[in-house]
Chains A and B, each alone.
Chain A
Amino acid sequence: MITAGIDIGSITTKAAVMAEGKIRGTKVVFTGYNAEQAGTKVYEELLAELGMEKSDVGRIVSTGYGRNSVKFMDKAMTEIICHGAGAHYLNPRARSVIDIGGQDSKAIVLDEKGKVKNFAMNDKCAAGTGRFLEVMARALEVDLDGFGTLSLRAGDPSRISSLCTVFAESEVISLISKGENRENIIAGIHESIAARIAAMANRLRIAPLVVMTGGVAKNIGVVKALERKIGMAVEVSEYAQVNGAIGAAFLAAGLK
């Protein structure tokens, strides 16, 4: 059977199509202000790319904050369950998932079957989310995509002590005016995010294998900082950003 998963997040909307347990294609678009439109668009475009018709798709599961805004899904499931399922599908040895999304971050502990045993979320505060990085990139006038590699060149990461995004931003601005180099500041920003996430993950007593999902997983600087803070290796799949959509498509196949 062909199934689809649609993950409507605060910043991006992702879709994945699977057939007989294999990924056939994935796609990412910006969510914008209309979640329903974004969900419909990413789905239709992906089908067109794959040369498929809607009638080819047996079942659809939606997830993410906008999961209830589309009407064509068979079931809406939370991103926690979907991220767990996606991580397990991509790597059955995964026992913990750290997902840093646009407006929240979460840590999920899985059992050997990929079922969620426990989870913790930070959704109250922008610090420790993708939004934090965006704000910082703006303050530094650096393209976000360059953050990861730039930070790897840091000699001595700056200390960003504020827990609050707004305060951290002014800290960064004062570092800039003091003439601190960019690489060090960016590395300091990554350390600060990683410290936040590690505190949440440790509270949950995460165990190896740890995988990281969500858009921020593309940032090698955050991944490395996180590895140091939790003292465990962190694996990132090439599908990290669409992990939730893959999980949704995977779960769609198992729906009764």
Chain B
Amino acid sequence: MNKMPEIVLFFLAKIKKLALHFKKKKKMKEIMMVYYMEAKSARISGRKVAWITSGGPVEPLIAMDVIPVYPENHGAMIGASKMGTDLCEKSESMGYSSDLCSYARSDIACATVNGGPIGGLPRPDMLICCNNICGTVLKWYEVQARYFNVPLFIFDTPFCHVGYAEEVQRYVRSQLDEYVLFLEKACGKKMDSDHLKAVGKLSLEGQRLWQAVLATTANSPAPMTAFDAFYHLALIVTLRGTPLVIDYYTQLLEKMKDRVARGIGAIPNEKYRLLWDNIPIWPRTRWLSEKLASHNACLVADTYTSAWCGTTKYIDENNFFDSMAEAYTRIYLNIGVDEMARIVLEMVDMYKVDGIVMHSNRSCKPYSLGQYDIQKIVEKERGIPCLMIEADMVDERSFSESQVSTRIDAFMEIIKERKGA
């Protein structure tokens, strides 16, 4: 490569300095800002960028010094900044169905206009698609591979209704080797297996810390709410396998433990404890949290943020690479409804909740399918009520405030009645 122009060098040095500064302070907003700045300047710094699905195996990317970028995380940002509806409409005018997942719709539209809160994602050098979350991502990533004309790696994880068969392990494990070959070709260098091991260790440690952070809300009052978890989640999704994650969650854990010790609750007067199911309604998280708090109800846990630490039991610390095949295959959205219900029941007990709020998400079929069955199982086994809210994680056209408001009020009336308040 030719000598870089001075202005570029200056710019890179600035980012580095900023990064160092923020890494010490460990504020989420700044960390994410630096992360996206680094990703966006990858071309000038000579690094590669890979787009990857939220449940995809990211550790080999980190080990190869590739910057992973998550269209779904971007979708959440678009939703939270209420820019989703415009982008969804844009994709519909491009010919995509309004029944398609709104992350996919907003991402596909955003790529063509560089819109959204951060002016679009950096151009990918490769795409990594793992179908452990849904089938939508296959077509979505194929569309983007064509659009950007970059190689696509598909990591295929069979659905595991119950258990985990030997042949599934063989099949998934063999793809990990193909994955490494794909990366080596795309990056033009060999994988350093020692480095990969180290990244694996950090990833597992990060997941355990995240689990510990979430577990603090088993205390009453809960030191944080699921709405806080939605916010703090970004790092375990995007940067697991890096030391930054460890530092951030270590600090967060200390803070939460301190709040527990001092009996400080996340909402002023926690009387009722609720569990959330499905992806947040991003444009409405603030409204919803205020609505629930007005009933003295706290969302103490959720099935969504815990999905990024739900399979640590399958990971072998000393053999991360082999065992991650199982961990990535048996995630929450890739198991049968009975298994999902079992996990929900465990959470009901662990977090001592009075009811469940289920978001029937127009976008995400794999997450929403089976909710009525889970509802029935929970009502039968634990006798607590479940509320169903119909909405969408990004597309505000699927949200009706007065209707959701009535349902929540009625649900809280039932819970208050039951708890005799």
Contacts and interface: CB of A to CB of B under 8 A. Distances in A.
Given A78-B406, A79-B406, A104-B403, A116 B388 contact: no
Interface string B374-416: 0000010000010010100000000010110011011001100
A80 B388 contact: no
Given A123-B400, A124-B390, A203-B372, A116 B406 contact: no
B410 to A, nearest CB: 4
A78 B403 contact: no
A83 B402 CA distance: 18
A123 B413 contact: no
A77 B388 contact: no
A115 interface: yes
B417 interface: yes
Contacts of A172: none
A110 B108 CA distance: 47
A239 interface: no
A118 interface: yes
Contacts of A104: 403
Interface residues on A, range: 10 to 19
Interface in A45-94: 65, 77-81
A80 B385 CA distance: 15
A120 B358 CA distance: 13
Interface of chain B, main secondary structure = helix
Residue with the greatest number of chain A CB neighbours at <10 A, chosen from B379, B385, B388, B410:
B410
Interface residues of B, number: 15
B413 A78 contact: yes
A220 interface: no
A121 interface: yes
Contact of B409 (A78, A118, A120, A124): A78
A147 interface: no
A65 B402 contact: yes
Nearest to A78: B410
Contacts of A81: 410, 413
B372 A116 contact: no
Contacts of A79: 406, 410
Contacts of B379: 118
A80 B413 CA distance: 9
Nearest to B413: A81
B403 A123 contact: yes
B402 A116 contact: no
A119 B410 contact: yes
Contacts of A124: 390, 400, 403
Residue with the greatest number of chain A CB neighbours at <10 A, chosen from B385, B400, B414, B417:
B414
A78 B379 CA distance: 22
Contacts of A117: 414
A120 B413 contact: no
Contacts of A120: 388
A120 B407 CA distance: 9
B155 to A, nearest CB: 35
A116 B414 contact: yes
A78 B295 CA distance: 14
Given A124-B390, A203-B372, A115 B410 contact: no
A83 to B, nearest CB: 10
B400 A116 contact: no
Contacts of A203: 372
B355 to A, nearest CB: 11
Given A78-B409, A78-B413, A79-B406, A118 B400 contact: no
B403 A116 contact: no
Nearest to A203: B372
Interface string A103-125: 01000000000011111110110
A65 B401 CA distance: 11
A79 B388 CA distance: 17
B377 to A, nearest CB: 13
Interface in B188-218: none
A87 to B, nearest CB: 15
A104 B372 CA distance: 20
Interface string A202-218: 01000000000000000
15 contacts: A77-B413, A78-B406, A79-B406, A81-B410, A81-B413, A116-B410, A116-B413, A116-B417, A119-B410, A120-B388, A121-B403, A121-B406, A123-B390, A123-B400, A123-B406
Given A77-B413, A80-B410, 11 more contacts: A78-B409, A80-B406, A81-B410, A116-B417, A118-B379, A118-B414, A119-B414, A120-B388, A123-B390, A123-B406, A124-B390
Interface of A: 65, 77-81, 104, 115-121, 123-124, 203
